[in-house]
Amino acid sequence: MDYVEEAMKRKVWAVVGALPRESKYGYQIYRTLKLNGYTAYPVNPKFREVDGDPCYDSLSSLPVIPEVVDMVVPPNRGEQYVEEAAKLGVEFIWFQPGAESEELVEKAKNLGLKVIYNTCVMLETDKRK
């Protein structure tokens, strides 16, 4: 089953590791989603806003449960978000290149999440233009 295709059809996303710095992937991914018609929420407890939008401390603090959680944090910081996504009933978790580890991918699968890795959201968005 192609989870990439399924996930790209979902319109509500959270970007864990979104940043207010334009040169960083966390910002670029968040902005790409927004510019392509997705409702995206930045999640990063270190910042109050990203691209003029409120930034949230956790997935639980979002106003809605996202359909896809896009991970742009190192694997050692990702475990708590994987667990939180599973508890909230999120369907898909997408590990950006560098955000995944074998252990974290297996954990996400074992928690019942549909897991995507080895591809970038920005690349997949560009393919659909």
Q: How far is 72 from 109, CA to CA, in rounded Å? A: 18
Average of per-residue pLDDT across 58-62: 97
pLDDT of 128 > 80? The answer is no
Number of domain units in the chain: 1
Give the pLDDT band of residue 121 (cuts 50, 70, 90): very high
Domain region containing 57? 1-17+31-63+87-96
Q: Please tell me the chain's helix, strand, coil percentages from 3-state DSSP, rounded to the nearest 5.
A: 35, 20, 45
In order, the DSSP letters of 95-123 are E-TTT--HHHHHHHHHTT-EEE-SS-HHH
pLDDT of 1 > 90? The answer is no
Give the pLDDT band of residue 109 (cuts 50, 70, 90): very high
pLDDT attached to residue 39: 98
Task: For residue 115, tell me if it sits in a domain.
Answer: no
pLDDT of 69 > 60? The answer is yes
Task: For residue 125, tell me if it sits in a domain.
Answer: no
Average of per-residue pLDDT across 95-118: 96
